[in-house]
A and B are shown apart, each in its own frame.
Chain A
Amino acid sequence: MALFLVNVLDGLVTGLLLFMLCSGLTLIFSMMGVLNFAHASFYMLGAYFAYQISLVTGFWAGLIIAPLVVGVIGAGIERYGLRRVHKFGHVPELIFTFGLALLIEEAVQFFWGKSQLPFSEPEALDFAAFAIAGNAFPAYKVFMIFVAMGIFLTLLYILTKTRIGMTIQAALSYPETVQNLGHNVPLVFMCVFGVGTAMAGLAGVIAGPVLGVFPGMAVQLGSIVFVTIVIGGLGSLWGALVASLIIGWMQTFATAYDVTAEQILTAIGFTKPELIWDHPLQDLWTLTLPQLGPILPYLLMVIVLVLRPQGLMGKRES
């Protein structure tokens, strides 16, 4: 039971971290109809900037400055890059962001090298907040949970309760009408792109000390981010949260419990072949749940796409 509780908390941390990445991506997609392949690269940039800033001023300044810098870069890229490509259609946009991802990865390697960087949590949070049956739960992870929850609530408030949020939502559905009403829609797009990338940058700053800062960190998260927003429903903030949490818990629990295919198959009534090492079904019999863990989100995506193509909370029927 104690271990179960620990895993619930660990899964929550993983899920919320994923959510910080996905919220920006899903907003940008619903607005521009473009899957931003470089989104995880902004996450990486956030971590690297924060590391660089932390060398001079410590962790906390990095936590605030790095996402701002990433957001400004993101807005700049939308203004001077994406917007020009936009008129040529979606495929050039896709290729643009894809190229951007490669470019950012190479640039990061050029400036910071290929090794892991020693980016660690601030000393003020470098202690175990509490322990459940000998399992320490770092204070830093508690901090992560609060930051992610804070971001979710802030975003939800801005999008649903404020004037800016309503303009954004209107611009998502009827850009021409909003434009005709006198709103500067391109500016709205630029701001949303900037905020989205800044969120990715913030996720990078927070995840850096836990998941490591290295040139492969964007690629490692790149695909799972897309899976999450597809499961949650493109453009839905609630969907992104729910899907992130499901994936976080799914992966944590899959790794935590050593359920083997053998146990399941024998429980159903099959008998294990004597000479398993020469058996054609050897791989099936020796499969374990932790090995299966990384595939589960993709499996879930396929199921969701089949049963509910618009995603768990998606609205659009297209």
Chain B
Amino acid sequence: MNKLNILMATTIVASLTAGFAAAQEKVQIAYIDPLSGPFATTGTQGLAIYRHTVKELVNEPGALLDGQAEFEMVPFDNKISAKESLIQLQVAMDQGIRIIAQGASSGVASALSEAVAKHNRRNPDDPVIFLNHSAVDPALTNDKCQFWHFRFDANADIKMDALTDDIAANPDIKKVYVIGQDYSFGKAVAAAAQRFLKEKRPDIEIVGNELHPIGKVKDFTPYARKIVGSDADAVITGNWGGDMVGLGKAIMSAGFDQPIYTYYGATSGITAAFGEEGDGIVKLVGAGQVNPPATPEGQEFIATFYESFPDLDFGQPQMANVAPMLAAAVNEVGNATDIKAIAYALEGMEYDSIITGKTVMRESDHQVIQTVTVQGQTPENILFEFDKSGRGMAAETIVELASKDSATTCEMKRP
């Protein structure tokens, strides 16, 4: 009797295993970003965009290895801490995941990039690839560049290049005030603003260049007074999160009605917080845009995103390129296990994105080159609103293949 039972159990287990083996191969992508704490909105939004992309552009059309394989997102919560991210990276690698995606905070990205490089040096036969979907510190594709890191967002310099194009085209702007958070990214934004403005419009005077403590300023009114007092015709800021809302609201209520150029001045509650006062004033520079979408397919894609995730915004368009480009690289190699070959396939890849137009992963520094757009907050002709506020960001200046010839200090060492 006992023996019969064991035999039956064995048969069942065997048939089950066989059943799994016949199913599609799952290629797992570890998504390491904040999913709890004050920055959870960013992480949750990004995960939703990934999941939607994986489903709509890869799995359902059978775009990965002729439908033989599927992508699967595996979320890991790093609480936006570099230390926590390294632990999660180790957990993901222990689970056998070799594709890592992260983007919130350049500090975390640079820690992960170093850890991945170190792992790959020690385990040349079992490498890990790092897909950075939104950390924009230029250093990651310049001094700190490395072969296994790929950046899918436009870096701070590229964004500033497009932003200053917009400023340069506006002859009314004669004085600019630059303000940012006191850390590497804020400093990078300020330096880029000075450099590009000097190059494009030497007549523009930078009337203020100031860094404030990050996340510590309760009331931005004194800063706003200085900005108004300086007679600036435009403000440039890289602020994000609470610092963006506080600064924006203070500037507007101090009576400033000139353009405020931002990197992160929309979605995640910010558009709703600015409300009517921000219309026509708040500008956003970013990769791709949602109003109007670049292609009809893109529009369809974004519309289904809003249907699937009614509580979230499609706020980081460039993230929709990661999974399809990775799928193309896997298809070129013919399997999802040879990470080194996949990395080589990603290098120099040209991709026609339905979101950001013609998109190229530059070989020299692994920085993606894509459409970068300067958008303005408006309640009119908005196809996809942010924060259900009845207003959104509409494209004003569209730069295709932005900064495609920009210089890089990267000296890539290839395995």
Q: Chain A residues in contact with chain B, CB under 8 A?
A: 3, 6-7, 10, 13-14, 113-118, 120, 128, 131, 133-136, 138, 210-212, 214-216, 220-221, 224, 251-253, 255-256, 258, 290-291, 293-294
CA A205 – CA B225 in complex, angstroms? Answer: 24
Question: Given A115-B269, A212-B245: A135 and B228 within 8 A (CB)?
Answer: yes
Question: Given A115-B41, A290-B212, A291-B211: A136 and B269 within 8 A (CB)?
Answer: no
CA A221 – CA B210 in complex, angstroms? Answer: 23
Contact between A290 and B210, CB atoms less than 8 A apart: yes
Question: Given A135-B255, A136-B253, A214-B242: A114 and B41 within 8 A (CB)?
Answer: yes
Contact between B38 and A117, CB atoms less than 8 A apart: no
Q: Which of A134, A211, A256, A293 contacts B255 (CB 8 A)?
A: A134
CA A255 – CA B218 in complex, angstroms? Answer: 12
Contact between A135 and B229, CB atoms less than 8 A apart: yes
Contact between B219 and A211, CB atoms less than 8 A apart: yes
CA A210 – CA B245 in complex, angstroms? Answer: 10
User: Which residues of chain B have C-beta atoms less than 8 A from A215's C-beta?
Assistant: 38
CA A31 – CA B216 in complex, angstroms? Answer: 31
CA A221 – CA B228 in complex, angstroms? Answer: 26
CA A7 – CA B41 in complex, angstroms? Answer: 35
Contact between B228 and A134, CB atoms less than 8 A apart: yes
CA A116 – CA B272 in complex, angstroms? Answer: 8
Contact between A291 and B182, CB atoms less than 8 A apart: yes
Q: Which of A10, A212, A294 contacts B273 (CB 8 A)?
A: A212
CA A220 – CA B229 in complex, angstroms? Answer: 27
Contact between B225 and A3, CB atoms less than 8 A apart: yes
Contact between B242 and A114, CB atoms less than 8 A apart: no
Chain B: which residue is nearest A106 at the CB level? B36
- The smallest beta-carbon distance between A7 and chain B, in angstroms, is 7
CA A131 – CA B217 in complex, angstroms? Answer: 24
Chain A: which residue is nearest B223 at the CB level? A255
Chain B: which residue is nearest A11 at the CB level? B222
Contact between A294 and B216, CB atoms less than 8 A apart: yes
Contact between B228 and A255, CB atoms less than 8 A apart: no
User: Which residues of chain B have C-beta atoms less than 8 A from A118's C-beta?
Assistant: 269, 272-273, 275, 387, 389
Contact between B254 and A135, CB atoms less than 8 A apart: yes
B226 at the interface (CB under 8 A from A): yes
CA A210 – CA B229 in complex, angstroms? Answer: 20
Contact between B182 and A7, CB atoms less than 8 A apart: no
Proximity string of chain B (210-244) to chain A, C-beta cutoff 8 Å, 1 when within and 0 when not: 11110111110111011011000000000000100
CA A48 – CA B34 in complex, angstroms? Answer: 24
User: Which residues of chain B have C-beta atoms less than 8 A from A120's C-beta?
Assistant: 273, 275
Q: List 12 A-B contacts (CB under 8 A).
A: A14-B219, A118-B387, A120-B273, A135-B255, A211-B246, A212-B249, A214-B242, A220-B242, A221-B218, A224-B218, A291-B182, A291-B213
- The smallest beta-carbon distance between B212 and chain A, in angstroms, is 7
CA A135 – CA B224 in complex, angstroms? Answer: 9
- The smallest beta-carbon distance between B320 and chain A, in angstroms, is 22
Contact between B275 and A256, CB atoms less than 8 A apart: no
Interface centre among A118, A252, A258, A291 (most CB of B within 10 A): A118
User: Which residues of chain B have C-beta atoms less than 8 A from A3's C-beta?
Assistant: 225, 229
Contact between B225 and A7, CB atoms less than 8 A apart: yes
User: Which residues of chain A have C-beta atoms less than 8 A from B222's C-beta?
Assistant: 7, 10, 251-253, 255-256
Q: Which of A211, A290, A291 contacts B218 (CB 8 A)?
A: A211
B268 at the interface (CB under 8 A from A): yes
User: Which residues of chain A have C-beta atoms less than 8 A from B255's C-beta?
Assistant: 128, 131, 134-136
CA A135 – CA B252 in complex, angstroms? Answer: 11
Chain B: which residue is nearest A132 at the CB level? B225
Contact between B221 and A252, CB atoms less than 8 A apart: yes
Contact between B246 and A135, CB atoms less than 8 A apart: no
CA A120 – CA B278 in complex, angstroms? Answer: 13
User: Which residues of chain B have C-beta atoms less than 8 A from A114's C-beta?
Assistant: 37-38, 40-41
Contact between A256 and B40, CB atoms less than 8 A apart: no
CA A2 – CA B341 in complex, angstroms? Answer: 66
User: Which residues of chain B have C-beta atoms less than 8 A from A255's C-beta?
Assistant: 212, 222-223, 226
Closest 3 CB pairs of A and B: A136-B255, A115-B269, A116-B269
Proximity string of chain B (56-72) to chain A, C-beta cutoff 8 Å, 1 when within and 0 when not: 00000000000000000
Contact between A294 and B229, CB atoms less than 8 A apart: no
Question: Given A117-B269, A294-B213: A138 and B253 within 8 A (CB)?
Answer: yes
- The smallest beta-carbon distance between B162 and chain A, in angstroms, is 26
CA A291 – CA B212 in complex, angstroms? Answer: 6
User: Which residues of chain A have C-beta atoms less than 8 A from B228's C-beta?
Assistant: 134-135
- The smallest beta-carbon distance between B389 and chain A, in angstroms, is 7
- The smallest beta-carbon distance between A150 and chain B, in angstroms, is 21
Contact between A136 and B254, CB atoms less than 8 A apart: yes
CA A46 – CA B105 in complex, angstroms? Answer: 32
User: Which residues of chain A have C-beta atoms less than 8 A from B242's C-beta?
Assistant: 116, 212, 214, 216, 220
Contact between B218 and A116, CB atoms less than 8 A apart: no
User: Which residues of chain B have C-beta atoms less than 8 A from A224's C-beta?
Assistant: 218
B128 at the interface (CB under 8 A from A): no
CA A50 – CA B105 in complex, angstroms? Answer: 33
